[in-house]
Amino acid sequence: MSAIAAGSDQHAFSHPVRVYWEDTDAGGVVYHAQYVAFLERARTEWMRALGHGQEALRTRHDLVFVVRAMRMDFRRPARLDDALRVSVALTECRRASLVLAQAIHRDGELLLDAEVRVAALGASGFRPRGIPEPLYSELRSKQVRPD
C-alpha cells in the first residue's frame, strides 16, 4: 500500500462524504457499488478545486474524462452515518490519460484504496484525444509519486 492510499501524502486532495440510508444495504453497511460513486465525487471535486469543473471542461475544451479501468481493495466496511474522507492523488499524467490513487478513510482508518485509470475523450464525439495545453502542464505539475 502506498503512502497516498494510506492517507499520509500531504499533496493528496481530500473530500468529505457522509454515509446516508440510500448508500447502505438492509444492514446499514455501505453497498459495494456505492464506493464507486464516492470515488467519482472526490475526483470531480478535485478537478473543480483545480478550477476545472466538468461543464467547463466540456464547453471550453471539448473534453471529458471517463473511467477506463478501476482496481479497488475493500478493507473495512463503512456504515450508516459514518463521516468519510475520500482522497485523490494524481500518480501518472499522460497525454491522453490519467492514473489516480484514491482512498477512503474513517477517522484515519483505511476502508478502501483504489487505482483509477481515466481516458481523455472529446466531448462531442467520445473519441480519444490529447489533454489540451495548458491543462496538461497544470495536471503534470500536480503529479505525485507513490511509495
The residue annotated as part of the active site, out of 9, 23, 25, 113, is 25
The candidate with the shortest Cα–Cα distance to 16, out of 84, 65, 118, 82, is 84
Residue 86, all three cell numbers: 475520500
Strand order in the sheet with 97-106: 13-18, 83-93, 97-106, 109-122, 63-74
Residue 73 annotated in active site: no
Contact 130, 136 (CB under 8 A): yes
Give the residue numbers marked as catalytic: 25
